[in-house]
Amino acid sequence: MADNDNPPSACSLRVDVARQTLYLLSNGAAVKSWPISTSKFGLGSEPGSFRTPLGRFRICEKFGGGAPAWSVFKSRRPTGEIAVPGGEEDGVLSRILWLEGLDDANENTRGRYIYIHGTNQEHLIGTPASHGCVRLRNADVIELFLLVPSGTEVEIA
């Protein structure tokens, strides 16, 4: 499905930090879920904190459509490198859904470069492990990318 194709009616996303789960909602009801990782540094919107912000957001831009799974991105551009599992670096892989804050408390989210993205550390999915972003397994972020258009609302709570 391309970025402008029809998503599930009235779709939105909900990130449940306590459960480390992302839910796809259609008309308010969960229709799909994926395990995730939020920040290992906790929750918050402070610049430079590497924390996952809370509140209401929207996907302002999407990157990576058509890129191979495990593609490495730098500055939202594929490098041509394919990652291998593991390593210490918090890689941004496969797809990027860039979040923009809709609340006063999280209005700096886009400038903090908070994304929903794939990771080279799939073994840590299900536990807080990121540097502020919401990580998914690479196959899961590719699936999600196809299901939601830019403009989709996201709640992180």
| CATH number attached to the domain at 11-156 | 2.40.440.10
Q: Is the pTM of this model over 0.75?
A: yes
End-to-end CA distance of the chain: 28
CA 150 to chain centre: 12
The per-residue pLDDT for 147 is 96
Q: Half-sphere exposure (CA, 13 Å, Cβ side) for 131?
A: 12
Among 132, 128, 93, which Cα is nearest to 112's?
132
Where along the chain do its domains lie?
11-156
How high is the mean pLDDT in each 10-residue block of the chain (157 residues)?
49 98 96 98 96 98 97 96 88 97 97 97 97 97 97 98
